[in-house]
Amino acid sequence: MRPSSTPAAGEGGHRGVPHTADLRIEAWGPTWERCIAEAVAGLVESFADTSGVRTRWTVTVDVPPGPDADVLVAVLDEVIYRLDVDGEVVLGAEITRAPDGRPAARLSVGDAAEATAVGAVPKAVSLHDLRFGPEDGRWSCAVTIDV
């Protein structure tokens, strides 16, 4: 995974950090929604170069409401599920909240067979050391992915 810029309050980004056996992703953004989208980008970049992948379609996924960390896990689980079951790689994510507060993820997807493998395929999101919340004027998360 390519490292992103140093975290700053007005910017979004993500990076992989050393972890013994699995993958650890840190992401940040000026909003809750951007932070989740950056975590998705970090997850995908950890296993695939998608620069040559064409978008096949966009899907909207209703995410069960709950604590912020649960929403993050649900969106990342959806990315892994689409790869594992449907052979789709997520090329972009837009996270929104309906007026009633219910979250949704709008995912642009492509054929995973068109991507170049660059790392281990993710298997699941670990709840161990999961962190997600506001920090220093921005949203920040850290998540471990089982590979």
Q: Is residue 113 part of a domain?
A: yes
Range of the domain at 99: 23-146
To the nearest whole percent, how much of the chain has pLDDT over 90? 83
Q: Is residue 14 part of a domain?
A: no
Supply the pLDDT for residue 1. Answer: 46
Q: Is residue 10 part of a domain?
A: no
pLDDT at 72 exceeding the cut of 50? yes
Note whether 47 and 119 are within 8 A (CB): yes
Measuring CA to CA, how many Å separate 109 from each of 1, 26, 91, 141? 19, 22, 5, 23
Domain of 121: which CATH number?
3.55.10.10
Supply the pLDDT for residue 10. Answer: 63
Q: Give how many domains the chain has, as a whole number.
A: 1
> Which amino acid, one-letter code, is at 20?
T
